[in-house]
Structure formats: C-alpha cells, structure tokens
Amino acid sequence: METVLLVIHVMIAIFLIGVVLLQRSEGGALGIGGGGGGAMSSRGAANLLTRTTAGLAAAFMLTSVLLAIVSGTHSEPTSILDTPATTEAPANGAPAVPAVPAEPTAPLSE
C-alpha cells in the first residue's frame, strides 16, 4: 500500500511541476509594477491550468498526509538493547579464537 501511494505521490509531483511550468507569467518581479490584470482577473481565475494546479496541489497534500499516516502505523520502535546478544560457536565445536593482530611496523625514514 505504501509503495502504491508513493508512486502516485511522485507522479502527482511531476505533473504539478509540469503544469506550473506551462503557466504564463503574469508580470515580472513577483507582481511589482502593478501591470494590467492579475491572478484574480476573470481571465486568470477560470483558466484551466489554474484549476488543474489547484487540483494537483490538493491531491499532493492528500497523498502526503496518507503517506505520513501509513508509514507511522506499521512499524514499532525497536531498540538494540531489547534484542538478545547472539554468540555463535564454530561448526566444529572448537572455541572461537579472535585473530591475532599484526605487529606494528616502524615508519619508513626518508
């Protein structure tokens, strides 16, 4: 379920980026200059791309919330201290002997 939601979420994000990039700019410098018309003009409010952007944004938010809910419900917190330590002996029954480290060497002089 989580994988399906994640794939849908990524597809919505890609479509949302594409739709935002397709929209025409309504003036420069973040609205500075007071050009004619704006985002709430009759032409801009009823635009198909504007409505598509709003729908995709709502779907993106919904899938974000669903992913947060799904990912938080299926896992229990585990601690390394709760798991018992396992020591395995070799198959032949001999005690495990740690490897002897190599002796340090002297640095090479130039």
Residue 35, pLDDT > 70, answer: no
Q: What is the mean pLDDT of residues 45-68?
A: 89
- For residues 31 and 14, give the distance between their C-alpha atoms in angstroms, rounded to a whole number: 26
Which tokens hold the place of 76? Answer: 């229990």
- For residues 103 and 107, give the distance between their C-alpha atoms in angstroms, rounded to a whole number: 13
- Per DSSP, 29 falls in state G
- The model's confidence at residue 107, banded by pLDDT at 50, 70 and 90, is confident
What is the structure's pLDDT at 8? 96
Domain range annotation of the chain: 1-24+46-73
Residue 82, pLDDT > 80, answer: no
Predicted structure pTM score: 0.53
Residue 46, pLDDT > 50, answer: no
Q: What is the mean pLDDT of residues 22-43?
A: 58
CA angle (77 as vertex; 88, 66 as ends), nearest 5: 135
